[in-house]
């Protein structure tokens, strides 16, 4: 019994995992296949073959309506069994995070979610993930017969390989009706910016006293040619900025050239999101704020004094 099975409801994530999966499959000597759930799944198999899957296990069932981990885990477990897979890689989207541990439990298997690195060492699959709230990165191996790993969805880019074909294998699923019903889907206010593309990122935290003062932060970002992001309280508690502008463990993890933290204490769940920034600048009126420990440059002072001075000086220096 051996094989790697990939699943994600997000096509981009599944294709990225297949791309990485090709390397793992070669090193571990295992076949690589993909699980596709839902109607018309079989019609989409070609793109997965082009990315390295040699089999596509496809299945549909009227009970696979809205996502419900109990039902989806049951469906996927049936595919794992039919494919005789022992390694399952799932996109660590919100749905994937609910699904992977439940699937693992069905096989009494170990699971790792939010993986940020996969490699093969001594014929074992070594998985990296953050630990201790982001203070550390741990390397783990799963020792149960099955392994279920949810991998950060954008970790691996999708790259098709030279022409390849595969086999579509229908799986007849046996599923119970869900004990849940989708009533409605409310769309969220989306931020106007995509922080992952930012070269300069100005993040603001609870040091900001009023929503109106965001204009000050925006002006600074504009004079640096950058985007505005924030900590969790700003987006999720005060709703001053859109939720996809939050940076950190449970939000975005951009890697800008320049990151400015304004009125941010520097708690690990936030700073873990900007560890890859080239240069970190912090402005905080508390000289003991932890943010200064991870900063390249810092100014201890009231942001309402420092930021206008920065804007003025930047306009003098850069003429904007």
Partner 1 sequence: MNIIVCMKQVIDLEQIRIKPNTREPVIEGLPLLFGDFEKCALEEAIRIKEVHGGKVTALAVGSPKLRDTIKEALAMGADEAIILIDPIFQDSDAMGSARVLARTIEKVGEYDLILLGDSSADEYSGEIPPRIAELLNLPQVGFVREIEVVADNDQMSEPKKIRVARDMEDSLEVIEVDLPAVIGVTSELNTPRLAPLSAILKASRKPMHEWRSDDIGVTAEEVGARASVVEMLSNLAPIQDRKGIIYQDVEEGVIEVIKALQQEGVLTQ
Residues 240-269 close enough to bind ligand FAD by CB under 6 A = 246-251, 263-265, 267, 269
Nearest residue (CB) to partner 1, 120 versus 139: 139
Residue carrying structure tokens 């989708």: 182
Closer by beta carbon to partner 1, 169 or else 300 = 300
CB of 201 to ligand FAD, least distance (A): 13
CB of 92 to ligand FAD, least distance (A): 15
Given ligand FAD, partner 1, none, residue 252, with its beta carbon under 5 to 8 Å by kind, binds none
State which of positions 189-248 bind ligand FAD (CB under 6 A). 205-207, 231-233, 246-248
CB of 186 to partner 1, least distance (A): 4
Residue ranges in 278-317 that form contacts with ligand FAD under rule CB under 6 A: 284-286, 289, 302-304
Give the dihedral sign, CA 47/152/261/297.
negative
Residue 143 interacts with, from ligand FAD, partner 1, none (CB under 5-8 Å by kind): partner 1
CB 15 within 8 A of CB 48: yes
Cα R_g (the chain), whole angstroms: 23
Angle at which helix 69-83 crosses helix 94-106, to 10 degrees, equals 60
Q: Provide the CB-side half-sphere exposure for 190 (13 A, CA).
A: 5
Residue 207 beta carbon to ligand FAD: minimum distance, rounded to whole angstroms: 3
318 binds, among partner 1, ligand FAD, none (CB under 5 to 8 A by kind): partner 1
Pairing, β 117-121 against β 124-131:
antiparallel
Q: Which does 286 bind (CB under 5 to 8 A by kind): partner 1, ligand FAD, none?
A: ligand FAD
DSSP string spanning 235-267? IIIS-SS-GGGBBSTTSB----SEEEEES----
Overall size of the chain counted in residues: 320
Residue from 244, 299, 297, 254 nearest 275 by CA? 254
Give the whole-angstrom CA distance, residue 11 versus residue 290: 39
**SS3 assignment, position 155:** coil
Determine how β-strand 4-7 pairs with β-strand 55-59: unpaired
Longest dimension (CA), the chain: 69
Residue nearer to ligand FAD on the CB measure, 78 or 267:
267
Residue 68 to residue 70: CA distance in whole angstroms? 6
If the CB atoms of residues 42 and 294 are measured against partner 1, the closer one turns out to be 294
Query: Which listed option, partner 1, ligand FAD, none, makes contact with residue 246 (CB within 5 to 8 Å by class)?
Result: ligand FAD
Q: Does 24 bind ligand FAD (CB under 6 A)?
A: no
Residue 289 site contact among partner 1, ligand FAD, none (CB < 5 to 8 Å, cut-off depends on kind): ligand FAD
Compute the least distance from the CB of residue 175 to partner 1, in Å: 13
- Alpha helix locations (H) across 39-93? 45-50, 69-83
Question: By C-beta, is 2 or 297 nearer to partner 1?
Answer: 297
Least Cβ distance, residue 29 to partner 1 (angstroms) = 22
Q: Which residues bind ligand FAD (CB under 6 A)?
A: 205-207, 231-233, 246-251, 263-265, 267, 269-270, 284-286, 289, 302-304
């Amino acid at each position: 019994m051996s094989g790697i099975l990939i699943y994600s409801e997000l096509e981009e994530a599944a294709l990225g995992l297949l791309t990485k999966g090709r390397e793992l499959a070669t090193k571990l000597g295992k076949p690589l296949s993909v699980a596709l759930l839902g109607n018309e799944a079989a019609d989409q198999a070609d793109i997965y073959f082009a990315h390295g899957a040699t089999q596509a296990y496809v299945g549909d069932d009227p009970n696979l309506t809205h996502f419900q981990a109990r039902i989806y885990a049951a469906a996927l477990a049936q595919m794992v069994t039919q494919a005789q897979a022992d390694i399952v890689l799932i996109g660590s989207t919100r749905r994937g995070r609910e699904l992977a541990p439940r699937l693992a439990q069905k096989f009494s298997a170990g699971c790792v979610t939010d993986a940020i690195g996969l490699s093969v060492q001594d014929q074992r699959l070594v998985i990296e993930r953050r630990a201790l709230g982001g203070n550390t990165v741990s390397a783990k191996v799963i020792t149960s017969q099955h392994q279920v790993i949810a991998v950060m969805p954008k970790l691996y880019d999708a790259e098709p390989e030279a022409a390849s074909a595969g086999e579509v294998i229908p799986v007849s699923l046996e599923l119970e009706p869900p004990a849940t019903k989708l009533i409605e889907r409310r769309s969220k206010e989306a931020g106007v910016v995509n922080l992952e593309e930012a070269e300069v990122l100005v993040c603001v935290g609870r040091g900001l006293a009023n929503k109106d003062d965001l204009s000050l932060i925006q002006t600074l970002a504009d004079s640096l040619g950058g985007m505005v992001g924030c900590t969790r309280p700003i987006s999720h508690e005060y709703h001053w900025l859109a939720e996809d502008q939050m940076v950190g463990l449970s939000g975005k993890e951009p890697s800008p050239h320049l990151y400015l933290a304004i009125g941010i204490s520097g708690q690990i769940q936030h700073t873990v999101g900007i560890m890859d920034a080239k240069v970190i600048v912090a402005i905080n009126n508390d000289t003991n704020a932890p943010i200064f420990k991870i900063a390249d440059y810092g100014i201890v002072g009231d942001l309402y004094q420092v930021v206008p001075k920065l804007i003025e000086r930047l306009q003098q220096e850069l003429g904007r």
